[in-house]
Amino acid sequence: MLDLSSRTAKIVFGSAAILIALFLFFPIYWLAISAFKPNAELYRITPTLYPHDPVLTHFATAFGRGNLMQQLRNSLVVSCSAAALNTLLAIYAGYSFAKFRYSGRRLVMVFLLSAQVFPFGLLLISLYPIVTSLGLIDSRAGLTLSYIVFALPVSTYMFYSYFTQVPSEMIEAARADGAGELRIFHTIVLPVSIPAVVTVFLYGFMWSWNDLLYAMTLIVSEDKRTIGPGMLLAYLNEVNSDWGGAMAASIMASAPIVVAFAFLQRWFIQGVTAGSVK
């Protein structure tokens, strides 16, 4: 869109592009290569720009320390359940907001959406005793349930704005044919909503996979810990931090979410920015 034929434009634009790209991508590069440097190369005042002598020892220690595999498994279980639960709750609510008219609808919408702005930390203060009284403290189920806080409001909105695009005539025609409301939803609306389902699932998954605050507060037992607090406890609460191990563990913890996004990012961005750009 901008005209870069002039020399000045090329220089200004080009240097801005290089600086921002460096800021965005250098840390990822640094994470990736640091995991492969032997300690002798890692702890030098003048760092090497790439591993001169690449090793896999940090991956070996990462697996040996702090139950990385178990934490990854816990994160996977909690994040998948939280994402599924969140999608299930949000999809019906979004459909209700988009395709039905009833008194109180707008008010409930305001309430549900405003929940996004309640600080997660404030809700946690009261969630803690509630989760405790449900007998779910220090359990993966309690953490899963609590993760609704993060994703439900925005997810509901994403489904709402998606369903407003689905033509009502389709639904009315099916209703005229005598189909039940649940059947209409599952056989007519759901099949055309797969992009939104994928987006919302991924959104819920991302919040749960990446969270630190709730995971470190609601889970105490070592064997139920997820990767966020697990890695933090394993690597940063030491006098001598093991940066090589931390980088190797980071690569393992990031791989699932990065791979998921690599495949689904196009849909995802459309879903997340939908309704905000008009």
Partner 1 sequence: MTMTSVEGSAAPMRVSAHARKGGLKAHERRVGRLFLLPALAAFTLVILFPFLRALAVAFTRSDLQTPEPIFVGLANFRAILATPEIIGAFVTTAVYVGLATAGTVVLGLGWALILNQSFRGRAVLRAVTLIPWVLPSTVTAFVWGWIFNSRFGVLNAALVGVGAIPYPTAWLSTTGGAMTAVVITKIWFSIPLFMSFFLAGLQSLDREQIDAARVDGAGNFALLRDHILPHLRPVLLVVIVLGVIGNLQHFDTIFALTGGGPVRATSVLSIEVYRRAFDQWDLGMASALGLLWVATIMPAAYFYLRHLLKGA
Q: Is residue 101 a contact residue for partner 1 (CB under 8 A)?
A: yes
Q: Specify the residue, 122 or 239, whose C-beta has the smaller distance to partner 1.
A: 122
Separation CA 163–CA 157 (nearest Å) = 10
Separation CA 60–CA 102 (nearest Å) = 59
Separation CA 50–CA 24 (nearest Å) = 18
In order of 175, 191, 199, 274, the CA distances from 184 in angstroms are 7, 11, 22, 25
Q: Is residue 210 a contact residue for partner 1 (CB under 8 A)?
A: yes
Q: Is residue 127 a contact residue for partner 1 (CB under 8 A)?
A: yes
Q: Specify the residue, 187 or 265, whose C-beta has the smaller distance to partner 1.
A: 265
**Using alpha carbons only, how large is the chain's radius of gyration in Å?**
23
Out of 11, 15, 25, 132, name the contact with partner 1 by CB under 8 A: 25
Count the Cβ atoms, other than its own, within 10 Å of residue 39. 14
Q: Which of residues 230-249 bind partner 1 (CB under 8 A)?
A: 231-232, 235-236, 243, 246-247
Separation CA 275–CA 278 (nearest Å) = 7
Q: Specify the residue, 15 or 54, whose C-beta has the smaller distance to partner 1.
A: 15
Q: Is residue 190 a contact residue for partner 1 (CB under 8 A)?
A: no
Q: Is residue 117 a contact residue for partner 1 (CB under 8 A)?
A: yes
Out of 56, 88, 141, 194, name the contact with partner 1 by CB under 8 A: 88
Instruction: Choose the stretch contacting partner 1; rule: CB under 8 A; options: 2-10, 51-59, 62-70, 191-199.
Output: 2-10
